[in-house]
Chain A
Amino acid sequence: MNVLQFVIQNHNEVLELTLEHLWMVVISTLLAVVIGIPLGILITRRPGWNKPVLGTANIIQVIPSLALFGFLLPLPWIGASSERLAVLALTLYALLPLIRNTYAGIKGVDPAVVEAGRGMGMTDRQLLLQVELPLALGVIIAGVRVATVISVGLATIAAFIGAGGLGEYIMRGVAMVNNQVILAGAIPAAGLALLADVSLGWLERRLSPA
């Protein structure tokens, strides 16, 4: 039995696990966007917070993923549900690229342009919303892209704590010593990662000011 036959025979389950996978990635990336972009903006406004915020995000990033799941397990409410746990872990991993790219994107805006805006009497808010964020958008989307691709990969590990997703097949296949089953999880996961990369890459180019 080859992979294709396996997938066709189990298409309902494959679809379900793919959607589960996608769901974890989308929710965690959205959460990371909602937290990471404002944090990135904040550290452009308060230079003193730059090091602690980026440092913390960096430390989270280097914790091995299984270990991070382990750390989060004892948490109340979160630890009680493997889905919540997985989403939280993925969110934490996605934070660094978002904070860093938001910060770098805004800092990369031509200072002459920002000063011209300030000199003409734009408020800080107007400068941020009309000048800095639009000009940084391409770099910020690049951060979303990196975060999403990382999440698709990491979400396969979520199966190890029972959160489902395409990692189920990989784990099951490893246990059964069955390459077809492993690939039935691995190929769609890789496909999702590629899809996310290509589509967000397209968006990044569309939204980058030339």
Chain B
Amino acid sequence: MYRPANGQEIVSGLNLEVRRGETLVLLGRSGSGKTTTLKLINDLVSPSSGQVLVEGRATTEWDPIRLRRGIGYVIQDAGLFPHFTVERNIGLVPAIEKWPAERTRQRVLELLQLVGLDPGLRSRFPRELSGGQRQRVGVARALAADPPILLMDEPFGALDPLTRADLQREFLALQKRIHKTVVFVTHDLREAMLLGTRIALMEAGKLVTALATEEFVRSHDPLVKRYLEAFGAPTGNGCEVQHERAAVRDSESQ
């Protein structure tokens, strides 16, 4: 995928491919263009030049409505409709796709189970749920029509650390079962390393590097290193330092 210059050059010169079934994490600080990149995929933002290919077809050639219904979208705080019950929120895409009511109902029950929510919650309104429950509903809603692609924009960002850890763990387990192509936006390196099969680091609207998670921690890119240091993760550099110290001690003892 190639997605250069958008409007005021929010994202430029971006050349990135998302592979089927992988979880690609877009990592970067606020304003680095990761959310814009995500919105380029479901055409909430259109590229001013270049193109974004989804299933081999440029997003500009897709009917935006069809494109978006084939892509699950999860945002921070879930973005649930406050005037819809849990059931109607989850069944939203099936409803606008005009599924028969019974099939939608079955699907909602299936999804509630999939995301670990009590089916008794389906007649509740979002305000009657906890943050973690709302976010689970948000994930269920995105998965309703079984889209092959899932876009997640800091979905766990507003949760307390314990609930976040629960949802991260559940997401991993879920992804093992459903194998969606996921693009996941976060500024949290730990979350990126935990959930991502690949990490794309963005800075000031540009892609710094995109590496498999194992390679990412060994990267010598200065910005990657700064990230690793900021999160207190063992960096490639840190390891070398330890080796050197060990070497020094060895030489001293000799």
Contact = CB atoms under 8 A, between A and B. Distances in A.
A121 B79 CA distance: 14
B93 interface: yes
Contact of A210 (B42, B64, B92, B127): B127
A117 B77 contact: no
Interface residues of A, number: 19
Interface string B44-88: 100000000000000000001111111101011111111100000
A133 to B, nearest CB: 10
Interface string A104-134: 0000001011011111111100100011001
B85 to A, nearest CB: 12
A209 interface: yes
B141 interface: yes
Nearest to A124: B65
B96 interface: yes
Contacts of B70: 121
Contacts, number: 63
Interface string A83-120: 00000000000000000000000000010110111111
Contacts of A134: 83
Contacts of A112: 75-77, 79
B73 A120 contact: yes
B83 A116 contact: no
A200 interface: no
B81 A117 contact: yes
Interface string A123-165: 1001000110011000000000000000000000000000000
A63 B127 CA distance: 44
A121 B75 contact: no
B55 to A, nearest CB: 15
Contacts of A122: 65, 92, 96
Interface in B89-145: 92-93, 96, 125, 127, 141-142
Interface in B223-252: none
List 3 A-B pairs, minimum CB-CB distance, nearest first.
Answer: A116-B79, A121-B69, A121-B68
Given A110-B82, A112-B77, A122-B92, 7 more contacts: A115-B44, A115-B75, A116-B73, A116-B78, A118-B68, A120-B141, A121-B70
21 contacts: A112-B75, A112-B76, A112-B79, A115-B44, A116-B79, A117-B81, A117-B92, A118-B44, A118-B68, A119-B44, A120-B68, A120-B73, A121-B68, A121-B70, A122-B65, A134-B83, A135-B82, A135-B83, A209-B82, A209-B83, A210-B125
